[in-house]
């Protein structure tokens, strides 16, 4: 990961101090671990979800092109409290992936900030569209996506991760 932006403080205030920074050693494992722990606790997903995130994170850090792909880690008081990734789907389409906000940081505007950072980056990298995959049961994330301008384009029942889920595909024209 080269040419990462400097650490930014978009949420720096007395009410919501957090910084967005590039990833560093240990963050890849943290992303996979926290997705596994939180999705198991909050949504009863099984280990296959953590395995998927582990694979996606590994592929990102092995193959990403920093001109077209990016990861941000949100930090508050020295602790990781969130993350998000922009990945290349095609020359014109970016994917927003692995958005996570720790329970201790929810309600601070961090989720919206992470999504906005992705959209700004995707536009500056020359993408024309951003897409994402979510599950219908993730109501808080779905509200954030809708607020950012994403439109639901398709929903498909897909039992996975030990649950009866509905996969949703969202698009945003950039």
Residue 99 has pLDDT above 60, yes or no: yes
Residue 104 has pLDDT above 90, yes or no: yes
Domains of the chain plus CATH, in order, are 19-173 (3.40.630.30)
Euclidean distance between CA atoms 145 and 125, whole angstroms: 20
pLDDT at 8: 58
CB atoms within 10 A of CB 170: 22
Q: What's the whole-number average pLDDT of the chain?
A: 91
Percent of the chain with pLDDT over 70: 91
Locate the DSSP E strands across the chain: 19-21, 70-76, 79-88, 93-101, 129-135, 151-157, 166-173
Confidence of residue 2 (pLDDT cuts 50, 70, 90): very low
Residue 169 has pLDDT above 60, yes or no: yes
For residue range 3-16, what is the model confidence (pLDDT) as tens digits? 344 455 555 445 55
For residue range 130-153, what is the model confidence (pLDDT) as tens digits? 999 999 999 999 999 999 999 999
Closest CA to 53 of 66, 65, 71: 71
For residue range 59-91, what is the model confidence (pLDDT) as tens digits? 999 999 999 999 999 999 999 999 999 999 999
Residue 53 has pLDDT above 50, yes or no: yes
Sign for the pseudo-dihedral over CA of 6, 15, 31, 57: negative
Closest CA to 71 of 99, 102, 33, 109: 99
Per-residue pLDDT averaged across 30-51, rounded?
Answer: 96
């Amino acid at each position: 990961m080269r040419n990462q932006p400097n650490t930014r403080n978009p949420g720096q205030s007395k009410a919501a101090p957090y910084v967005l920074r590039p990833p560093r050693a240990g963050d890849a494992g943290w992303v996979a671990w926290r997705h596994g722990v939180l999705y198991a606790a909050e949504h009863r997903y099984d280990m296959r979800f953590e395995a998927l995130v582990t694979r996606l994170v590994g592929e990102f850090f092995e193959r990403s092109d920093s001109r077209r792909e990016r990861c941000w880690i949100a930090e508050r008081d020295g602790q990781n409290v969130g993350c998000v990734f922009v990945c290349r789907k095609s020359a014109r389409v970016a994917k927003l992936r692995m958005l996570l906000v720790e329970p201790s940081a929810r309600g601070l505007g961090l989720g919206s900030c992470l999504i906005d950072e992705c959209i700004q980056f995707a536009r500056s990298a020359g993408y024309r569209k951003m897409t994402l995959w979510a599950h219908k049961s993730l109501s808080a994330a779905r509200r954030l996506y809708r607020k950012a301008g994403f439109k639901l384009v398709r929903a498909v029942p897909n039992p996975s991760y030990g649950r009866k889920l509905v996969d949703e595909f969202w698009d945003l024209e950039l």
